[in-house]
Amino acid sequence: MPVGLSPQNADQINNNVGILMRNFTDVRAKVHAQQGWLAAEDLKVEPYNMSAEDETLIKSALSDLDTALQAVNMTFINQLIGLPF
């Protein structure tokens, strides 16, 4: 964080961390939903018309990301999100 923009007190730290954790859980859920959709979708046909290589690249990248995000232990993140900020 740039000098001068550091949190000035515990409330600001709590708020910043809370926002980050909520954003993380939102992204985690969106990636998981998108992965579920992509796994069942054939991107080589209309309306997408992707090459097999592009389809594989996109599906593999999102699958790996989803796997990594789903592996995160959410115990402490959920506890942080539940704190009043």
| In the chain, where the domains are located | 11-82
Tell me, what's the pLDDT at 3? 59
Tell me, what's the pLDDT at 42? 97
Q: Could you tell me which residues come within 8 angstroms of residue 55 by beta carbon, excluding any fewer than 6 positions away?
A: 42, 43, 44
Tell me, what's the pLDDT at 1? 56
Q: What is the dihedral of CA 17, 23, 26, 30, to 10 degrees?
A: -140
Query: Which regions of the chain are under pLDDT 70?
Result: 1-4, 83-85
Tell me, what's the pLDDT at 18? 87
Tell me, what's the pLDDT at 38? 96
Cα gap 26→30, rounded to integer Å: 6
